[in-house]
């Protein structure tokens, strides 16, 4: 059965990221992924900007509206995708539920910038029996799932130490990597602020912080988005070294080997194993996992409760830096 979907927000992740790219080479947005995945279809889109509605009409040939009330004439939907500004998520979901009864809400990350508003969204969804997921899309990447399985199996041994570089805000972009590390290493145990970093205009900040997770310790360090974007994780284990580079576009594993000439000396293999990722099709991977959920199968999507845990932990860190 094909699920009917409404897209609210036609900005970068909603529609624009892959608009000028051949669809056989990349699927980055909700519009493109929903238009080509066999298990989903676009019922309508919503955006207040006439320019965005016009671009959508020209490229996707589906109904598009200025607001959710106008879109309600299209009938109910199975999946609502919330892809507008984070600051508008709470009000948008409230308006959505005045006009629709979706089975699933897929909301862009972070759920909100405000813990209280996020709790209200989760409560609204639970009261209406709506399944809420937050689009930390890297969790749907087969490479990220493979790394988690290696940690579970012991192929990547505990205890793990690492460094995570992020830019453009701890909550805004750092949350992607905080959430992945919760997915890989389990719940937060403790943290220590190394450097308070700079504050950003949207209430976010860029601290350097050492975070202890259940299975390892990671130092988050802020880079400078205005100079260049930098998103990378390096994990060291007694069994080897994992590099999660370029936001997940290059992933490699170096196992521990005997030094070729020095007796009883261990080094990392200079011929790393490349772990194949699907980051050029990450939104298709998300819909594959959503399909598994709708079919009653196991999935790796980030639930509303898991996203809430990420937000609470990161909020604690940001409050501590003050």
Q: Is residue 29 part of a domain?
A: yes
- Whether residues 252 and 129 share a domain: the answer is no
| Whole-number pLDDT of residue 114 | 86
- Region 208-232: mean pLDDT is 97
**With pLDDT > 90 as the criterion, what percentage of the chain qualifies?**
93
First-to-last C-alpha distance (Å) of the chain: 50
**pLDDT above 80: residue 320:** yes
pLDDT at residue 279 in the model:
97
Q: How many CB atoms lie within 10 A of CB 288?
A: 18
Residue 159 sits in a domain whose CATH number is 3.30.360.10
- DSSP secondary-structure letter at 157? P
Domain range enclosing 89: 3-136
Determine contact, residues 39/79, Cβ cutoff 8 Å: no
CA–CA dist 142, 137 (Å, integer): 11
110 in Cβ contact with 315 (< 8 Å) = no
Joined tokens for residue 139: 């969790």
How many domains are contained in the chain? 2
Produce one character per residue of 190-225: b if its CB has 16 or more CB atoms within 10 Å, e if not.
ebeeeeebeeeeeebbbbebebebebbbbbbbbbeb
Task: Indicate if 126 and 186 belong to the same structural domain.
Answer: no
Domain match, 15 and 107 both:
yes
153 and 237, same domain (yes or no): yes
Residue 322 has pLDDT above 80, yes or no: no
Query: Does residue 287 have a pLDDT over 80?
Result: yes
pLDDT at 263: 83
Helix (H, G, I), strand (E, B), or coil: what is residue 67? coil
pLDDT at 1: 85
Q: Are residues 168 and 85 in the same domain?
A: no
- State the pLDDT at residue 160: 97
pLDDT at 246 over 80: yes
Q: Is 239 exposed, middle or buried (0-12, 13-18, 19+ CB in 10 A)?
A: middle
Query: Would residue 316 count as lying in a domain?
Result: no
> Are residues 54 and 66 in contact, defined by beta-carbon separation less than 8 angstroms?
no
CATH number at residue 36: 3.40.50.720
Provide the pLDDT confidence category of residue 217 given band limits of 50, 70 and 90: very high
Residue 233 bridge partners (DSSP)? 164, 244
Q: Is 104 inside any structural domain?
A: yes
Same domain, residue pair 247 and 226: yes
Asked if residue 262 has pLDDT above 90, the reply is no
Indicate if 18 and 32 belong to the same structural domain.
yes
Longest dimension (CA), the chain: 75
Instruction: Say if residue 209's pLDDT is above 80.
Output: yes
- Provide the 10 A C-beta neighbour count for residue 286: 27
Q: Write out the two tokens for 100.
A: 């629709």
Give the span between the Cα atoms of 13 and 29, in whole angstroms. 5
Asked whether the predicted pLDDT for residue 172 surpasses 90, the reply is: no
Bridge pairing between strands 240-245 and 250-258: antiparallel
Q: Are residues 131 and 43 in the same domain?
A: yes
pLDDT in tens, 89-137: 999 999 999 999 999 999 999 899 889 999 999 999 999 999 999 999 9
Query: In this structure, are 174 and 246 located in the same domain?
Result: yes
Please compute the mean of the pLDDT values over residues 267-271 and round it to a whole number.
95
């Amino acid at each position: 059965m094909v699920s009917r979907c409404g897209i609210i927000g036609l900005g970068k992740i909603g529609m624009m990221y892959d608009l000028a790219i051949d669809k056989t080479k990349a699927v980055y947005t909700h519009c493109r992924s929903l238009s080509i995945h066999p298990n989903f279809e676009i019922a309508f889109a919503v955006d207040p900007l006439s320019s965005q509605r016009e671009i959508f009409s020209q490229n996707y040939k589906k109904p598009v509206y200025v607001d959710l009330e106008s879109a309600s004439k299209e009938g109910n939907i199975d999946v609502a995708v919330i892809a507008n500004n984070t600051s508008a998520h709470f009000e948008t979901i409230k308006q959505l539920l005045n006009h629709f009864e979706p089975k699933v809400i897929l909301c862009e990350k972070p759920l909100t910038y405000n813990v209280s508003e996020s709790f209200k969204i989760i409560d609204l969804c639970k009261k209406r029996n709506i399944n809420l997921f937050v689009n930390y899309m890297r969790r749907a990447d087969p490479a990220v799932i493979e790394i988690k399985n290696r940690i579970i199996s012991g192929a990547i041994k505990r205890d793990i130490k690492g460094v995570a570089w992020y830019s453009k805000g701890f909550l805004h972009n750092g949350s992607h990597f905080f959430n992945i590390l919760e997915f890989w290493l389990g719940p937060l145990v403790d943290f220590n602020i190394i450097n308070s970093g700079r504050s950003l205009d949207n209430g976010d900040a860029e601290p350097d912080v050492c975070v202890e997770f259940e299975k390892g310790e990671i130092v988050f360090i802020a880079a400078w988005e205005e100079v260049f974007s930098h998103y990378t994780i390096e994990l060291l284990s007694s069994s080897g070294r994992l590099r999660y580079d370029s936001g997940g576009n290059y992933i490699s594993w170096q196992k521990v080997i005997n030094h070729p000439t020095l007796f009883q000396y261990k080094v990392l293999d200079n011929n790393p194993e490349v772990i194949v990722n699907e980051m050029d099709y990450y939104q298709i991977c998300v819909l594959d996992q959503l399909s598994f959920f709708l079919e009653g199968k196991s999935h790796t999507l980030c639930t509303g409760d898991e996203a809430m845990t990420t937000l609470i932990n990161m909020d604690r860190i940001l409050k501590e830096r003050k």
